[in-house]
Structure 1
Amino acid sequence: MDIKQLRSFITISETKNITKAAALLNIVQPAVSRQIHLLEDELGVVLFERGRHGMHLTDEGKILEVYARRALKEIEAAKVELTTSNGTLQGTINVGILASLSELLSVSLMRVIKKKYPDVNLKVSVGYSGHLTEWLEKGDIDLALIYGTDSSKFIDIQPIVRERLWIIGPYNSDLNYNCPLSIKEISEFPLILPYAPHRLRSIIEQGFNSENCDLNICAEINDIQVQKQLVKEGFGYTILPLVSMKNDLQQKKFKMAPINNDSFYRDIALALPNTRHISKLVHTIALEILHCSRVAVEVKAWSGSEWIGK
């Protein structure tokens, strides 16, 4: 198995046609066919189903595709790192950010990168913590800001920020920023929450269980924008960190109140893979993310948070 074979394999999987793949790879069609046959012979499996409508990956081919993309990405990253001259950072980096943090941090990070590292191409993947963890383990992203949990055999976790969770209601509600509510009081509210196994849902359930109170669920939606829209229109209340409500609160679309329970917080952590080499580019951008996050906390742009990083 070599790089040329893997590139041919990936190109065919994308074009579903050997002729098109050969044109993109700038080699003759028989050479592409031979590379795939050699790859199939070496692995002892059939990688493509060949039919009237093109070539489609078999189940075995789909398994190889994951590893092939990861291998080619690592090779390209090594090439960039080894051939970069004068210590200038260049290349592409894919950063995963929680949906609730993307608005706060994506712009500030982009501003820093364009000013200090103009040859770096930043990609931002927004998702929920579980998705970001999966993408990081698979190598689809290079690092991420996720809910703080214990490190695993695949990922190293560095908690950096702790956020309080707040009860959020429509603007015509009686919630008061200066009047904390107990879990018992909140248990009377119809709640619009993400569904399990969303990490925020787990935190909320643990808090209610600690006081033997039941959740009064009126809707379960794993989309923060839809949750907020339903709250705005008076369908119920939700529980979120203030950072996810920053612009909405300034525009007086909602009211909120603190929760009188010490377990209602979430930790945000910087996550890096521990199963592959961390390039200079990834290490440098990780430090910039830490700096942007700390500044956001210190200047109160990251509302309702405290810095817990080292």
Structure 2
Amino acid sequence: MQASKATTLEIDIASDLQRWRTFLAIAEFGSLTRAALFLDRNQSLLSRQLNALERDCGARLFNRTGRGVALSDVGLRILPQVKALLSDAEQLVREIKGEARELAGRVTLGSLPSITFPIVGRLFQELRSRFPGIQLKILEGSSGQVEEWLADARVDIAILYRYGNNMPEREQALATVDSYLIGAIGDRLTKKAEVGFQALDGLPFILPSAPNGLRTTLDAMARHEHITLAPVIEADSLPIMRSVVAQERLYTVLPIHAVWNEVSSGQLQAAKIVSPSVQRTVSMAFSKSKGPDKAVSAVAAQIVRIVEENARHGMWSRSPSAAA
């Protein structure tokens, strides 16, 4: 039983340094009031934190006096260790911040237009805050262009769509994305939450031109389902696709994050394609010739965090392999 209690106490010490900072401030000032002023915190909150700390320790750390508080025998005994603990924690923070300052250089990211929007703004903010020495360069293009940049090492990191279950070497699955039929406001088909794949037969589409991963997948599924997908316009520009759908009342197929703002503001409608669904994987790939150095690894870690946050907001589903 004694060993179990000691283990529990060690975990509490490591996981809640703030309460030990409170302990140290009260010990040095000998007063909850002065400690609260020093820490810029509510005195009643400090009192509750101290009571909770004493309960976790199973001992009284301070004796209450008419003039304030004084360390108990237990408090006096652990004070040097608490000071050493907090000193080590501060040194760790300094080293981490020093490492962040040391990370520097240009990291080039190649991305598809539909993925850039929900990632790059937040990525810039995170890097400016955490790693100000890292410069971010963005190259945006079609899937074929991004693949070429990756092969030629013109980009350090590439964000791509992949179809099927097999991921290429040196790639990390980030999220699973459903495809939606996108239509103009008031359109009958896209007013529904879901639409069957068969309903796409003969619709006036604006779609990317081949070769394109989505176009290849849609054409193959159309043949399997014995329907006709014959776009009246081919365009590889995401802004053009969105504007033409809204203005000319055509249809296109996109992931929901590519039209997130337009659907939210009532400019476009989106219905998830089902029976069968059209899914793709958001993949992060690294340049084979360069390899992920510290700056590239830091950027990649931030991308993973942003993708996970967007998954919680409903833009896409977190990839099972990313969750592992």
Residue deviations 1:211-237, cap 9 Å, x none? 121213211111111111111112411
RMSD (CA atoms): 2.0
Residue matched to 1:262: 276
Secondary structure of 1:189's aligned partner: coil
Counting aligned pairs with the same residue, the percent is 22
Cα 1:176–1:217, aligned 2, differ >3 Å: closer, same or farther? closer
Check the 8 A contact 1:177/1:258 in 2, yes or no. no
Deviation of 1:127 (Å)? 1.6
Establish whether residue 290 from structure 1 lines up as the match of residue 304 from structure 2.
Answer: yes
Deviation of 1:253 (Å)? 1.0
2:309 maps to a residue whose letter is V
Partner residue of 1:101 out of 89, 96, 115: 115
Deviation of 1:262 (Å)? 3.4
Residue matched to 1:226: 240
1:195 maps to a residue whose letter is S
Check the 8 A contact 2:182/2:251 in 1, yes or no. yes
Residue deviations 1:125-175, cap 9 Å, x none? 1122221111011111101111126555xx622111111101011113113
Residue deviations 1:2-26, cap 9 Å, x none? xxxxxxxxxxxxxxxxxxxxxxxxx
Cα 1:306–1:208, aligned 2, differ >3 Å: closer, same or farther? farther
2:107 maps to a residue whose letter is I
Number of paired residues?
Answer: 222
Residue deviations 1:235-282, cap 9 Å, x none? 411010000001111221111212123341111101012333321111
* TM-score normalised by the chain length of structure 2: 0.64
Deviation of 1:179 (Å)? 4.2
Residue matched to 2:261: 247
Residue matched to 1:305: 317
Partner residue of 2:129 out of 110, 115, 134: 115
Task: Give the Cα separation in 1 of the matches to 2:115 and 2:193.
Answer: 26
Check the 8 A contact 1:207/1:263 in 2, yes or no. no
Establish whether residue 204 from structure 1 lines up as the match of residue 229 from structure 2.
Answer: no
Q: Which runs of 5+ in 1 are unaligned?
A: 1-84
Check the 8 A contact 1:195/1:222 in 2, yes or no. yes
Residue matched to 2:141: 127
2:154 maps to a residue whose letter is D
Task: Give the Cα separation in 1 of the matches to 2:152 and 2:140.
Answer: 16
1:216 maps to a residue whose letter is A
Partner residue of 1:215 out of 229, 244, 267: 229
Larger displacement relative to structure 2 (256-265 or 105-114): 256-265
Residue matched to 1:276: 290
Question: By percentage of residues, which structure has more helix?
Answer: 2
Correspondence list, 1:126-205, <5 A: 126-148=140-162, 150=166, 156-205=170-219
